[in-house]
Structure 1
Amino acid sequence: MLTVGDKFPQFSLKATVSTESLDKAFATIDNGTYQGKWTCVFFYPKDFTFVCPTEIKGFGDLNEQFADRDCQVLAASTDSEFVHLAWRKDHNDLKDLPFPMLADINKDLSRALGILDDEGVARRAAFLVDPEGVIRFVYVTEGSVGRNPAEVLRVLDALQTDELCPCNWQSGEDTLKAA
């Protein structure tokens, strides 16, 4: 699995970006789409499941705060863009999702990241990637356990200080000074 300090792999994927008409629902997103920004790319196992929408909604609820930090949130799974669209139209919490859902149907990105499980499904993994394309944070949980999007945001805040941040540090608190 790729980890902190590794370059995030090159990718170009179809994404579901809205629930409007089919001609507006999809876009192609690649490494250059959000050039110069931080990205939070979080993978979840499958559409039409139970834990996944709670996480997706959680990241959606914090999307504006990620954007305030110049960070683009991207959801991803190995489902197609059409399945993403159907799920978004079907699930009330996902209808107005404010970020793209990447369709890694060939599993190339999941495989390159090292998060593809034995069944060919992406693990529940999140990556914070700096504007230079370097992975700065990785968060992986068991498939049955949802992540805490607020913790990902807290870590982004800490990373953006370029300072030493103690355990449970929150934005606005003092950072540590090396003696």
Structure 2
Amino acid sequence: MISVGDQFPAYNLTAVDGKPFDDINIDNVFVNISNESFPGKWQVMFFYPKDFTFVCPTEIAAFAELNEDFADRDAQLITASTDTEFTHWAWRKHQEELRDLPIPMLADVKRELTSALGILDQAEGAAQRAVFIIDPDGIVRFSMVTDLNVGRNPKEVLRVLDALQTDELCPCNWSKGDDTIDLQQATAA
């Protein structure tokens, strides 16, 4: 699996656009998104196994609820699976909590990105439940993979993004606004 400190792989994939449901139709729903689509921004890319499943919509909806918080931190949320853009679109149309999803849904149909990241579950042939925080220079600063049956905590991902953006030492359970560790003070003690 790709590690913290590695360059995130280049990608250029078709996605279902992250627009309100009433603003999209079959003529404007699909967009191409690449690693260069959000210059100067952090990217938080989270993968899920399959559309039309049970854990996945709970996670996607929970990330979507925090979309404004991520945007306030100059971060673009992106979600991805190995399903097609057509399956993504059908799922969005029929899954109530995903209808107004403000997050683009990447279709890694050829499994090139999931393979490059090392998160292709060989038994399922689908993406593992992984999340990456990528800095504006394209460097992976955080990664996490959970079992296919276990959902993630988007608030924890946001907390980690906050900590990374301080560019300081942050203790266990640090939250935005808490004191960071002053290395000079800590070594003097």
Aligned to 1:12: 12
Count of residue pairs brought into register by the alignment: 179
Aligned to 2:178: 173
* Aligned counterparts of 1:23 and 1:136: Cα–Cα separation in 2: 36
* Aligned counterparts of 2:173 and 2:84: Cα–Cα separation in 1: 37
Deviation at 1:36, TM superposition (A): 1.1
Aligned to 1:48: 52
> What are the equivalent positions in structure 2 for 1:2-151 lying under 5 Å apart?
2-17=2-17, 18=19, 19=21, 20-118=24-122, 119-151=124-156
* Aligned counterparts of 2:67 and 2:179: Cα–Cα separation in 1: 25
Gaps of 5+ in 2: none
Query: Which has more radius of gyration?
Result: 2
- TM-score (normalizing by structure 1): 0.99
Deviation at 1:38, TM superposition (A): 0.2
Deviation at 1:177, TM superposition (A): 1.0
Deviation at 1:71, TM superposition (A): 0.2
Deviation at 1:99, TM superposition (A): 1.0
Deviation at 1:168, TM superposition (A): 0.5
Render the CA deviation track for 1:83-113: whole Å, top value 9, x for unaligned: 0000000000000000100000000000000
Q: CA RMSD in A?
A: 0.7
Gaps of 5+ in 1: none
* Aligned counterparts of 2:182 and 2:90: Cα–Cα separation in 1: 50
* Aligned counterparts of 2:144 and 2:58: Cα–Cα separation in 1: 16
Amino acid at match of 1:71: A
Post-superposition, which runs of at least 4 consecutive aligned residues in structure 1 deviate over 4 A?
A: none
* Aligned counterparts of 1:35 and 1:78: Cα–Cα separation in 2: 25
Deviation at 1:21, TM superposition (A): 1.1
* Aligned counterparts of 2:25 and 2:181: Cα–Cα separation in 1: 51
* Aligned counterparts of 1:29 and 1:72: Cα–Cα separation in 2: 12
* Aligned counterparts of 1:45 and 1:21: Cα–Cα separation in 2: 25
Deviation at 1:72, TM superposition (A): 0.2
State the identity %.
60
